[in-house]
Amino acid sequence: MSDHTEKPRPERRGFRKSVYIIPSLFTTANIFCGFSAVILSVNASVALNAGDVERAIRDFDVAAKFIGWAVLFDFLDGRVARMTNSTTQFGVEFDSIADVLTFGIAPAMLAYCWGYGFIPELGRVPWAISFLYLICGALRLARFNVQASKPALQKPNTTPKLDKKAFVGMPIPAGASLIAAIVHFAKVPVAKASTQIDLGGRAVVIDAHEWGILLLALVTCLALLMVSTFRYTAFKSVGPRSRNPRVVVLLIALGLISVYYYSEVTLLLIASLYALHGVVGKLVSSVRRLVSPHHAHEPAESSTVRE
């Protein structure tokens, strides 16, 4: 009798340990995608300098796709950890390190090699902007970890991330997604880009240098958005337990179909809308405060908006 009661225990322990490993496997896949994106960006830059434009376009596009896959893996590791109740402090730290590589270093390298790194007149400015993006992303992750570890923001037996309905500052995967979506959409490196726009019968040509400066400004804005106090939706309530699960399933299905057939336009549109909705929300809230002066006499309510 005693032999039969003691045998299942090691199996349960082994199964439990394997459950804790699953989120880390997704995080490892995240790191692999980030590392591959960096290597491909460097290889594409070398091919571009050697005159092999077709190979450069192909490698840049694959690097952007790797960042896109990393966003999916980053989403899954957190969801799986919460669904299986296998969230650990090790997993949280491991995920942060992975995000610095995949959504910090990899898109900074991709933007530099594909976009504005070829402009010699700017000197070290392109290098500095890519580093600015990286350091702002690291600061964004550090701030999030500190805020998430505050005991006042935690509920019993839950993770800090689950309690948040909105992020303070644009999440670093969102900035990386927009950079990758632009590369995936445009394909041709900025150094070889030249666009002619017809404005009322007048042809306006935007050359490679102008496109490079525009991308430089965009990456700067993304870096500043990550360390801003703008609110971005966390989508933590989206899932089978949401109020309208059928609507959520329908939207996800439509999104997958759109990505499969029109990945360039769909991914660029989604990434752009998410990056902009925090700015628009901030502008709307500021206008409401100006239009409604009585809010100035309600300090108690305004203080509850902050985390």
Residues 66-77 have pLDDT tens digits of 999 999 999 888
Residue 78 lies in a domain: yes
Estimate to the nearest angstrom the gap between the alpha carbon of 176 and the chain centroid.
Answer: 5
Residue 129 lies in a domain: yes
Q: Per residue in 195-211, is it b (16+ CB within 10 Å) or e — as a string?
A: eeeeeeeeeeeeebbeb
**pLDDT the model gives residue 152:** 45
User: Is the pLDDT score of 31 beyond 90?
Assistant: yes
Residue 262 lies in a domain: no
**pLDDT the model gives residue 243:** 61
Number of domains in the chain: 1
Residue 6 lies in a domain: yes
User: Is the pLDDT score of 45 beyond 90?
Assistant: yes
State the Cα–Cα distance between residues 140 and 132, nearest whole angstrom.
12
pLDDT band at 258 (very low <50, low <70, confident <90, very high): confident
Range 73-97 average pLDDT: 81
Q: What is the DSSP string of 94-138?
A: HHHHHHHIIIIIHHHHHHIIIIITT-GGGTTHHHHHHHHHHHHHH
With contact defined as beta carbons under 8 Å apart, do 264 and 184 qualify? Answer: yes
pLDDT digits (tens, 9 = 90+) for 151-203: 544 455 444 444 457 888 899 999 999 999 999 999 999 988 876 666 666 76
**pLDDT the model gives residue 88:** 76
What percent of the chain has pLDDT above 70?
76
* Strand-pair partners of 203: 198
In what helix (H) or strand (E) does residue 93 lie, and over which residues does it extend? helix 89-100
With contact defined as beta carbons under 8 Å apart, do 67 and 107 qualify? Answer: yes
**pLDDT the model gives residue 38:** 97
Residue 178 lies in a domain: yes
- Which domain covers residue 215, as residue numbers? 2-237
Residue 212 lies in a domain: yes
Q: CB neighbours of 31 closer than 8 A, spacing ≥ 6?
A: 97, 98, 101, 102
The CATH number covering residue 119 comes to 1.20.120.1760
Q: What are phi and psi of 117, to 5 degrees?
A: -70, -10
Residue 242 lies in a domain: no
Query: Mean pLDDT across the chain, nearest whole number?
Result: 81
pLDDT band at 223 (very low <50, low <70, confident <90, very high): very high
**pLDDT the model gives residue 147:** 75
* Strand-pair partners of 206: 195
Residue 72 lies in a domain: yes
pLDDT band at 238 (very low <50, low <70, confident <90, very high): low
User: Is the pLDDT score of 264 beyond 60?
Assistant: yes
Residue 85 DSSP symbol: T
